[in-house]
Amino acid sequence: AINKCDLETADVGRVKADLTGYDVLTEDLGGDVLHAEVSAKEGTNLDDLLSKVMLQAELQDLKANPNRDATGVVVEARVEKGLGTVA
């Protein structure tokens, strides 16, 4: 998910371009990574994000173990003076 798309300063193109530096290509750039442009604050496009997560789970035949705790990863980024964008 590309979050905070509700902000005037949001630049989805730049985010996708920055991801290419890590060999992460979204589908619209010829890759195989799905993305959703969302605003968690306003709840925008969360249904699109959920449908893409469900599609990937189905295509990859992902199954959850109901007897174990779930785990996940959240990557946060911020701008640091002198360093630029850091995660």
Region 9-35 average pLDDT: 92
Region 15-29 average pLDDT: 92
Mean pLDDT of all residues in the chain?
A: 90
> DSSP readout, 23-79?
T--BGGGTSSB---B-BTTTTBTHHHHHHHHHHHHHHTT----TTS---------EE
In the predicted structure, residue 77 carries a pLDDT above the cut 80: no
3, 49 Cβ separation under 8 angstroms: no
Bridge partner residues of 79 (DSSP):
85
> What's the token pair of residue 43?
């709840």
pLDDT tier at 16, thresholds 50, 70, 90: very high
Q: Check residue 78 and give its pLDDT.
A: 77
